[in-house]
Amino acid sequence: MNSSSRKRKVLIVDLDVHQGDGTAFIFKDEPSVFTFSVHCGKNFPLRKQQSDLDISVEDGLEDEEYLFTVADHLPWLLESFRPDLVLYDAGIDPHWDDELGRLRLTDQGLYQRDLYVMKTVVSRGVPIATVIGGGYSRDIDKLALRHSIVHRAATRVWRECGM
């Protein structure tokens, strides 16, 4: 089977603090799409959908443990599923200052997370597209700044990987 007739595979990496329940439900019977969600178990939605891989974390998780959790799964997922494209939901609501998040990530932690995800994917020659997600704060300037983190990380990956 050549590459044009082979069904392309997509890995969805959803790191918004809430479960990626929408994509989990939409693609539950679609083997060419693998849904991976890391979320806070006690957060909305109370009734979770079933992703292909759900990692439920406890309230109050901080940068280092969170990053270990992501790094524990992303490499082997890429090696075993071998996606043609990764879609990355870079939700900012795991931030400590988020009104709904319940986790304790810092700006630097979000930046390291985004950098790690993009570098890990791109270094394997797999394209990645990201979307901003989540983020609940009444301070719009803070929120906008936080949403710029993934763009800053993407710029660095783009420069360093010479794409």
Query: Which residues of this chain interact with Zn ion, rule CB under 5 A?
Result: 16, 18, 93, 134
Cβ proximity to Zn ion, 106 vs 126, nearer residue: 106
Rounded to a whole number of angstroms, the minimum distance from the CB of residue 134 to Zn ion is 3
Q: What angle do CA 100, 74, 81 make, to 5 degrees?
A: 125
Exposed e or buried b per residue across 64-73, where buried means at least 16 C-beta atoms within 10 angstroms of its C-beta: eebbebbeee
Rounded to a whole number of angstroms, the minimum distance from the CB of residue 131 to Zn ion is 12
**Residue nearest to Zn ion as judged by C-beta position:** 134
Rounded to a whole number of angstroms, the minimum distance from the CB of residue 4 to Zn ion is 37
Rounded to a whole number of angstroms, the minimum distance from the CB of residue 17 to Zn ion is 5
Cβ proximity to Zn ion, 83 vs 134, nearer residue: 134
Cβ proximity to Zn ion, 83 vs 95, nearer residue: 95
Cβ proximity to Zn ion, 18 vs 86, nearer residue: 18
Alpha carbons 65 and 71: distance in angstroms, whole number: 10
Q: Which residues contact 78 (CB under 8 A, 6 or more apart)?
A: 11, 86, 120, 121, 124, 126
Strand partners, 95: 105
Alpha carbons 63 and 145: distance in angstroms, whole number: 18
